[in-house]
Amino acid sequence: MKKVGVAILGLGVVGSGTYQILTEHREFYQKTQDVDIVVESVLELNRERALALGVPEDKIASNIAEIVSNPDVNIVVEVIGGISAAREFVLAALNAGKTVVTSNKELFCKYSHELERAAKRQNAGLYFEASCVGGVPIIRTLLDGVQGNKISSMMGIINGTTNYILTKMTNEGSSYEDCLKEAQRLGYAEADPTADVEGFDAAYKLSILSSLAFHTKVPFSKIYREGITNISKDDIADGKSLGYVLKLLAIGKQSEAGIEVRVHPTFVRQGHPLAAVNDSFNAVYLTGDAVGDVMLYGRGAGALPTGSAIVSDIIYAATHSENKYSTFKNTAGADKDTKFISDFKSAYYLRIMVEDRAGILAKIAAIFGRNNVSIVEMIQKPIGVDGRVPLVLITHETRELAVRNAVAKINALEGVGHVETVLRVIS
């Protein structure tokens, strides 16, 4: 039976989960996969944490040199996060000919071209299933499940923190601030939640996934990004009354015109499969030319779900002798022939505060008409405490720049307070 030695860099939440799965399931993998996977070393500065997890003291390394020089280590698992040290350690492992498995979405998003170049030089494997959507096997699906298809679209709820916050706001009518505090208390959100709530985390993942799905490099810099920090409970309530649920969506589309990639809060029509994905769960909805629609759903974070994805990569690497690399030219930037669409099409939700007097609505409608924006639904809310009236509108599908131009003109109208909210809508 083939023996494969593994080293784990970092025993935080994900590293500890990975160690637990590998040690508890060792005999199971021997029986089912015909491979003996042994944790030969861990790099953890907090020795007490490692010992408490059951790691033998002689297997606790104090630096990366001990890991990469260990002949018994075949696969190095990087779960320390961040960029600087992780990049240094992963490159050291690859340059030593070790296969690397990483869960680091920011590292892989920004430096996959550099890591892959090092892996190719040494004929080492580079695996990253756990970098996107936790325990949901989206990367393996793209690489080995739907590779016979041309993928035209991909929509996903790929950040558990924001989905938990928006679900709680929807179900309880609570404010963003209160729901964020609750998410932090439960450990769903970091003390500094910026990466999650401002959409950076989802954009890193979308960069990775869209590059795989569309077979061309989609850099992070090409992704339009909005977070959820300005979402009000009034917007969520109004959307709910119109039959929509608010989600932070990562959207990638490919057509003859080019590629569009965006992360932003989106109203999703109730009845769409993504509308039912709640709390910290994640899902990705794919459309291929042959297979049609496919949705993958599961836990997007956590010790064991993410550890499951890491172990899946370890087993795959241990049981496959050929290393696969990108199906596209993996460079720091986009290929010069790849076109990106910024003026994308969508339906829109707008919340506009206006004075309660004759003629205002006609002026707003005229501005929309001149910008080729047509209205599907409109609700005029009761007069507010400041004497202004909230108008809630849903538009037909139109162009992003058309809506932006219309909003600028409406904001310049006398008697209109301002356009408070603009959100995209998917039916």
Would 71 be classed as within a structural domain?
A: yes
- pLDDT tens column, 1-59: 999 999 999 999 999 999 999 999 999 999 999 999 999 999 999 999 999 999 999 99
168 and 256 share one domain: yes
Would 333 be classed as within a structural domain?
A: no
Would 335 be classed as within a structural domain?
A: no
- pLDDT tens column, 112-124: 999 999 999 999 9
Would 312 be classed as within a structural domain?
A: no
123 and 6 share one domain: yes
| Cα 202 from Cα 183, distance rounded (Å) | 17
Would 380 be classed as within a structural domain?
A: yes
106 and 165 share one domain: no
Known catalytic membership, residue 205: yes
State the residue range of the domain holding 410. 345-426
Three-state secondary-structure class, residue 296: strand
Last residue of a domain, one of 131, 163, 197: 131
- Max intra-chain CA distance, the chain: 83
290 and 150 share one domain: yes
Token pair belonging to 103: 């869960």
187 and 255 share one domain: yes
Least confident of 154-158, 280-284, 352-356: 352-356
How many other CB atoms sit within 10 Å of the CB of residue 408?
12
Last residue of a domain, one of 114, 131, 148: 131
- pLDDT tens column, 57-100: 999 999 999 999 999 999 999 999 999 999 999 999 999 999 99
41 and 160 share one domain: no
- pLDDT tens column, 311-332: 999 999 999 999 999 999 999 9
Least confident of 268-272, 393-397, 412-416: 412-416
**Domain holding 159: CATH number?**
3.30.360.10
260 and 144 share one domain: yes
| Residue that wins the pLDDT comparison between 360 and 136 | 136
379 and 273 share one domain: no
| Cα 258 from Cα 190, distance rounded (Å) | 36
Q: How many alpha carbons lie under 13 Å from residue 341 in its C-beta half-sphere? A: 17
Q: What's the residue count for the chain?
A: 427
| Cα 6 from Cα 8, distance rounded (Å) | 7
Residue 46 one-letter amino acid: N
Band (pLDDT 50/70/90 cuts) for residue 385 is: low
Band (pLDDT 50/70/90 cuts) for residue 389 is: confident
In 3D space, the residue among 426, 360, 350 whose CA is nearest the CA of residue 387 turns out to be: 360
Is the confidence at residue 357, as pLDDT, over 90? no
Residue 120 one-letter amino acid: K
Mean pLDDT of 353-382: 90
Mean pLDDT of 271-288: 96
Would 321 be classed as within a structural domain?
A: no
In this prediction, residue 250 carries a pLDDT of: 98
Catalytic residue among 105, 110, 168, 205: 205
How many domains does the chain contain in total?
3
Query: Average pLDDT, whole number, for the chain?
Result: 95
- pLDDT tens column, 160-211: 999 999 999 999 999 999 999 999 998 889 999 999 999 999 999 999 999 9
pTM of the model: 0.96
119 and 179 share one domain: no
52 and 161 share one domain: no
Would 44 be classed as within a structural domain?
A: yes
Match 């996969």 to its residue by tokens.
Answer: 33
250 and 390 share one domain: no
**Domain holding 21: CATH number?**
3.40.50.720
In 3D space, the residue among 217, 204, 222 whose CA is nearest the CA of residue 327 turns out to be: 217
Phi–psi pair at 43, nearest 5 degrees: -110, 105
From residue 156, give the alpha-carbon distance in Å to each of 119, 146, 209, 281, 319: 29, 16, 10, 11, 30
Contact 113, 332 (CB under 8 A): yes
292 and 420 share one domain: no
Would 339 be classed as within a structural domain?
A: no
In this prediction, residue 248 carries a pLDDT of: 98
**Domain holding 358: CATH number?**
3.30.70.260
Last residue of a domain, one of 75, 97, 131: 131
